Amino acid sequence: MLTFCGMDSCRVDGAGRIRLTAATVEDFLRRCDGEVVLFGLPEGAVAVYPEEVYQEMRRRELGDLDAVGASFSARRSLRRFGSMASSAKISRQGRVTVPEVLQRFAGLLPGVEARVVGVEIGVEIWAAERFETEMNDILCAEKKKRQNELIREESLQNEP
C-alpha cells in the first residue's frame, strides 16, 4: 500500500489546525506514533514529516557540524532549520496544529482553503492558491523538458 500519497482539500480552522485524512493519520501513527515535525519549506508550504525523516534531512543538509563556526552557509542553514521547525503531535481527531509563525509564512491563516499533499516521506500543507501556482510551474517545467527531449531526438535522427 502506498504511504503518504494523494491530495486532500480542507480549511484551516480558527485555531490553526488542519484535519488530515484517515489514511494519512494511519501512516503517521504507523511510522512515528503521530509525533511529527512541521517545517517551513522555501517554496512557501509547511512539510509534516516523521521526526526521523526530518532529522535525516537535517543531518544531510548540515554535514560536518564541526565546520559550522567557520561556515557562513552552514550557520544560515542552522538558522533556517531551527527557526522554521516545530514538533507536534497529531490529535486523536486527526488534526495537526500549525504554529502561528508557520501559518503566516505559508499563508495558512484561519479560514484559508488548504491542500494536504502526500510526498511519500510525509505530507506538505499548501495554501490552495499557492499549490495551484506550484502545480502550474511543475507542468510548465515538464512540458519544456519534453520539448527539449524531442528536439534532441530530432537532431540525433537528422545527423548523417
Q: Are residues 72 and 66 in contact, defined by beta-carbon separation less than 8 angstroms?
A: no
Q: What pLDDT sits at residue 87?
A: 96
- Structural domain includes residue 149: no
- Structural domain includes residue 110: yes
Q: What's the predicted TM-score (pTM) here?
A: 0.86
Who contacts 97 (Cβ-Cβ below 8 Å, separation ≥6)? 15, 16, 17, 88, 91
Q: Are residues 114 and 58 in contact, defined by beta-carbon separation less than 8 angstroms?
A: no
pLDDT digits (tens, 9 = 90+) for 77-93: 788 888 999 999 999 89
- Structural domain includes residue 145: no
In this prediction, the residues of the chain whose per-residue pLDDT falls under 70 are 1, 63-67
CATH of the domain at 29: 3.40.1550.20
Give the chain's domain count.
1
